[in-house]
Amino acid sequence: MTLWWIGNAVLLFVVLPVVIALLNRVLAACERIRAATDAILEGGVELAGQLEPVPAVLAQTDRTIREVAVGATRYAGSVAKLLG
């Protein structure tokens, strides 16, 4: 019976504080991860809000590329006539 009480005392005064300390470290790491994910989500939402005008800008870019291609084709045709 004495060994039983000694085992309970060791469990209470040695093992339990170690388990509580380790659990505290794990929970602190989880809180840091949660804060980081919240910051990432906030930045992602802000970035998504800034992407709204992208389709209009791409349409303008496509139009400009077509105009440059037409001009380059005309120029190349004229140069070919001059050199030919």
* Other Cβ atoms closer than 10 A to 52: 8
Structural domain spans, the chain: 1-52, 53-84
pLDDT score at 36: 97
- Rounded CA-CA distance 11/5 in Å is 10
Write the pLDDT tens digit of every residue in 18-62.
999 999 999 999 999 999 999 999 999 999 888 888 888 889 999
Better pLDDT: 4 or 35: 35
Q: Kindly state the average pLDDT of the residues 61-65.
A: 92
Specify the residue for token string 């659990």.
23
Distance separating alpha carbons of residues 17 and 28, to the nearest angstrom: 16
